[in-house]
Amino acid sequence: MRRSGSNECGLSLMSSERDTDSDWNQLGKVDPYWAVITDERYRADTMDALGRQAFYDSGLFDVDMFHATLKRHFSAPDHFETCLDFGAGVGRLLVPMAQRANRAVGIDIAESMRAICQTHLDELGLAQVKLVPTPQAAAEFGPFDWINSYIVMQHIPPSRGLELIESLTSLLEPGGYLSLHITTHRDPHLMPSQTHNPLRLLARSLRNRLFPQRDVGQITMYDYDLADVLSRLERLGCKQFHLEPTNHGGHHGFMIYTQRTQ
């Protein structure tokens, strides 16, 4: 749930063994809005009503774009029966999605994020929205006509993220739509310097094994194999794709749009 690509405090390019769930629960406790979009306007110690409104308004813009793309390339409807946002955080995208559906579900592993999101949903009177921690818990409310995940998978190690992508896609109704963002590569200056030195790589691996939970609350970045993601989606019944490249501060990837036809 991160747009900026700068190597600011809190960003780390870490090993796949890191427990990113604990990181996000901690981030939800101390700096929830900034953790979603790392803009200084959204820091917990400076956030005001105008900043909070700007934060949520940015979600309206993104969902408008995703929905318009699905309508243009896959003839998606104006309104959905059920929709799901994976990595819902504090509800930035979940709220505008829920306003286009009869029922909505937001998935976020961080209890701290879900608590803030629930307060926002209550403020808006969106009683038709459920918050759950995992795709397995969301299955009770599915299948879904539209599943979305944006600037989320990049913070999950691919060893887990690929399984999550498959789990989410399996919750799609036949004929349902998927909008999914992944990062695939980054500019050279964002590559961890340790990768150029085998001894540092070894030391880093040993350190991560011995101290996997140091500095809880870091934002970590991971890249995915685009071919692997597309092949998994194809096996689950998604036969046509529309891809749009993304570049968030030097972290490059794709927004994948597709429809599950089987």
Helix H segments across the chain? Answer: 20-30, 32-36, 49-74, 94-98, 111-124, 135-138, 158-170, 198-210, 226-235
Total domains present in the chain:
1
Range of the domain at 103: 11-46+59-260
In a domain? residue 6:
no
- What gap in Å lies between CA 94 and CA 60, rounded to an integer? 9
In a domain? residue 1:
no
In a domain? residue 87:
yes
Half-sphere exposure of 198 (CA within 13 A, CB side): 0
- What gap in Å lies between CA 28 and CA 89, rounded to an integer? 8
Per-residue pLDDT reduced to its tens digit, 121-148? 999 999 999 999 999 999 999 999 999 9
Per-residue pLDDT reduced to its tens digit, 235-252? 999 999 999 999 998 999
Residues of the chain with pLDDT under 70: 1-21, 23-25, 28, 192-219
pTM for the full model?
Answer: 0.84
In a domain? residue 200:
yes
Query: CATH number of the domain that 63 lies in?
Result: 3.40.50.150
